[in-house]
Amino acid sequence: MRTRIVAVHSLVAVALAALPPSVVAQDLPYTFFLTRYEMDESMDTGTMERVRYHSDGQPFAKSPDGSIVTMSGQGSWDPSTRRATGGGRYTITDPAGTVRAQGTWRATSFVAFDKLPGWWDMPGLKEESWQGPPGSVSFSGFLKANVTLDNLGDGVLEMWCLMPGVAKPGDHESDGISLTGGAFNFTDYHDNEKAPQGVMFYSTNPAEDGYVLTPDGTTRYRAGAPAAQPSPAAPARTSAPAPAQLPR
């Protein structure tokens, strides 16, 4: 069957190189990747046949004055210890597209994670270049972490993965980011949610339910292992006590 490769380009022409994978602490049970989606679509039926996940994603957000922050990278977190690690690179451009600041960013602590049910909901869809550790599950949701940007100071980075089969909260359409706090006010995510730039989440926690990659390249839902589930008397959290507030 003939296929057409859907073009995938960032709306912001900024070259960003992510930090090496060594910045991700593999001992933490949850990981995130700022991701670029590459999708193959059938020219005969118009349906999507395949998606590839690339770890060179460049999601972006806009401030009220038209400035744009573009970020790349990856990291990990542990809600039980509130640890977060990892990072990448950032670039800030003014409304004319002139670079005003650039450098590296790193995660400093976990704030919250709000998990949402649902996945692609496209039977037979092939998923390639799974970024998570072998046997990990993937899922949608909102992650909030404290971060620091070289030369610019501290802020709060919120990242979200909203697959097509997920009920979208508010006016969200897809994946995105926001950067707030301190000197940052990048809260307009709408253009990015129309671009193939996003976020992927994974977990090696056996108690976590989600979607696993099968040998034929498709994914299926897997419930968390009952033996790893907490007892009713001592429930475990997958997020901080205060849920992440969705950016507006």
Q: Is 194 left (phi over 0), alpha (psi -120 to 50) or beta?
A: alpha
pLDDT of residue 26: 53
Residue with tokens 């992927």: 200
At 190, the pLDDT band (50, 70, 90 cuts) reads very high
In a domain, 15, yes or no: yes
Is residue 123 assigned to a domain?
Answer: yes
pLDDT at 157: 98
Answer yes or no: are the C-beta atoms of 244 and 177 closer than 8 Å. Answer: no
Does residue 240 belong to any structural domain of this protein?
no
Tell me the residue range of the domain where 21 lies: 3-212
Q: Whole-model pTM?
A: 0.82
Domain count across the chain: 1
Cβ-proximal residues to 197 (8 Å cutoff; 6+ apart), any chain: 10, 34, 35, 36, 37, 57, 58, 59, 60, 175
Beta strands (DSSP E) in the chain are 3-5, 30-42, 48-54, 60-62, 68-78, 83-93, 99-116, 126-128, 137-149, 153-161, 176-181, 184-186, 197-203, 210-213, 219-222
Residue 248 lies in a domain: no
| Residues facing residue 99 across a β-bridge | 93
Give domain status of residue 166, yes or no.
yes
Does 193 fall in a domain?
yes
Q: Using an 8 Å Cβ cutoff, are 159 and 180 in contact?
A: no
**Number of residues in the chain:** 248
Asked if residue 192 belongs to a domain, the reply is yes
pLDDT of residue 42: 75
Query: For position 234, what pLDDT does the model report?
Result: 41
* Per-residue pLDDT tens over the stretch 8-27: 333 333 334 444 444 444 57
Report pLDDT for 80. Answer: 95
Identify whether 246 is part of a domain: no
Q: Quick one: average pLDDT of 179-192?
A: 97
Percentage of the chain modeled with pLDDT above 90: 75
Rounded Cα distance between 210 and 147, Å, is 27
* pLDDT tens, residue by residue, 124-151: 999 999 999 888 999 999 999 999 999 9
